[in-house]
Structure 1
Amino acid sequence: MLNIAINGFGRIGRNTLRNIFLREAFDELQVIAINDLTDTKTLAHLFKYDSVHGPFPGTVTHDEKHIIVNGLSILVTNEKDPAALSWQKLQIDIVIESTGYFTSRDKAALHLEAGAKKVIISAPAQDKDISTVVLGINDSVIDLSASILSNASCTNN
C-alpha cells in the first residue's frame, strides 16, 4: 500500500483522486492528504460536481479539516510552502504535485524535505535531468530510484 498526498486540488488533482476511486485502486493507493488553499466545502463540491466528467457516482461530504469520499476521510491542509507540510508525520510515499508551480527540481524537492519519499510532477519538469514519462510511450525509462519524476503535460494524459 502506498500513501499518497495530492498537492493542488484543481482539475488534475481532482481527476487523480477520481480515478483512484473509480478504478477501485484502494488496495494499492491510499490518499492520505490533499493540500490546497481552498476550503473543504468548496473542494468537496468541485470534486462531486465535475463539469467535464459529470457528477462523482459516490458520496462526497466534508468537515472542517477533511473531505470524505465514500466514507473515507482525507485530511485537507492549506499550506503555501511544501517544506512546511507534514508528509513525514503522515508517512507519505508519493506526492502528486499538481499545482503547476513546483515543476523545478528545487521546488519539487520541498516535498522531499517535508518527508515525502517521491514526487510525481503533473506538468513538464523545468530541469532536463528529471525524467518525463508518458505511460504507454516511454514508461520503460522510469528509474525507480529517482525521487522526482514528471508525468509530462496534463494535455498528454
Structure 2
Amino acid sequence: FGRIGRLVFRAAASNKDVCVVAINEPFMEVDYMVYLLRYDSVHGKFKGRISSKKEDGKDFLVVDGLPIRIYHEKDPASIGWGEAGADYICESTGVFTAKEK
C-alpha cells in the first residue's frame, strides 16, 4: 500500500461509481495503513472517516462505514479477488512488469 496504491485508493474513494472491496498489503499492518491514508504529507488529510477492524481473524479498512477486506499475501495468486467481489484489480507494486510473472 505504497504511494501509488494510496493515490489510486484516494481517486477511487472520491468516485461514487467505484467501490473498493479489497486491498493486498503483504507487509504493513492495517492500523499503519489507516495512519498513512489519514495523514498524507503531500496530499493532506483523507477527507472521509477511516478506521480499522478485525472480524473473524480478518483485517478490514473501514472507510465511511464501508468495510474493505485487507489481505496480507505475498503471492497475489493466493487471493480470492472474486470471492471479495472484485471486478477489476489494480496492481501497483511494480513487481509484475512481465507477463510471465
Equivalence for 1:13? 5
The size of the alignment, in residue pairs, is 96
Please tell me whether residue 81 in structure 1 is matched to residue 70 in structure 2: no
Bigger RCO of structures 1 and 2 (CA < 8 A, at least 6 apart): 2
Q: Secondary structure at the match of 1:94?
A: coil
Please tell me whether residue 29 in structure 1 is matched to residue 27 in structure 2: no
Q: CA deviation at 1:88?
A: 2.6
Give the TM-score normalised by structure 1: 0.58
Report sequence identity in percent.
40
How does 1:6-155 map onto structure 2 within 5 Å? Answer: 9-22=1-14, 25-26=15-16, 28-37=17-26, 38-64=28-54, 65-107=59-101
Q: CA deviation at 1:13?
A: 0.8
Q: CA deviation at 1:21?
A: 2.1
Moved over 3 A (4+): none
Q: Which amino acid aligns with 2:50?
A: V
- Counterpart CA distance in 1 for 2:82 and 2:67 is 19
Q: Which amino acid aligns with 2:29?
A: D
Gaps of 5+ in 2: none
CA contact (8 A) 2:61 2:69 kept: yes
Q: CA deviation at 1:91?
A: 3.4
